Structure 1
Amino acid sequence: MKKLLLLSCISLLTACGGGSSDSSSSDLLFPTPNIAAFAGIYEDFSNEGELIDESYLHIDSDGYLSFYDYAGDAVDDFANCYWIEEKQFQIIEYLGDGSYKFRDSDNSEIVYGLSVSSEKLVITASNGRFDLPRTALTVSDLTPEC
């Protein structure tokens, strides 16, 4: 199974991310020591040439990050199911100034910046920014598993 594009982007934070726009009050980004504030599902629709690759990031209330890649999109063209990689990262500590320590599934630790609003999650590092729109989907919507 192919590695999820989103996992690669979060691991490397290169060539991913979007531009920023003017902020409205509903789009106000803020860091928080409350890791549960990041809980939700965020979409990552990336362009592969003229095709759209559909994948999602789920952050649970304990700070675990799981990745869902829709196998039935135009890029994968496999089946109406999701390739799921559960609990690949965990947000383990708020370090202040919007920085958080993450632990990956190999127990390596890395620091990223995080901010959240009602509309999006932004992950930042010294080499990039990755904007993910918040969705109204639930984990049960991201089924069946392939």
Structure 2
Amino acid sequence: MRFLSRRLVMPNDLNYANALFGGRAMEWIDEEAAIFATCQLETNCLVTKHIGEITFESPALQGDIVEFGLETKKVGRTSITVSCLVRNKATKKTICLADDIVFVTLDPETRMPTPHGKTMAALEAQTEQEIRNLNLQVD
């Protein structure tokens, strides 16, 4: 799982118990997963079809930095299924896991599902190339 994005928990993100509101976490998850799927499929014409089980394990508090780990679970003809793990940046404790988030690619004109032409093997190779291009070696 690659952790690709971070957010700061602000006062307007809190619920009555002064922890991250579950609805806000779900909003962030949908957005982060959509960005991930868009990059994987190299198209921005996709929609969220389904979000499976979301399991909340620990709270995030005001001032916490949360990070989003994403991975591709499955690739269909017109769809991609991803998982998103939200964790506390400092403690690495899992805040929540959203499993089986399904996005479907659409034809921009008809708005009907359309094949994206990607395979799991192609996406794995694409990810390896992206990591090589980042050149994260520290001297």
TM-score (norm 2): 0.30
More strand by share: 1
More helix by share: 2
TM-score (norm 1): 0.29
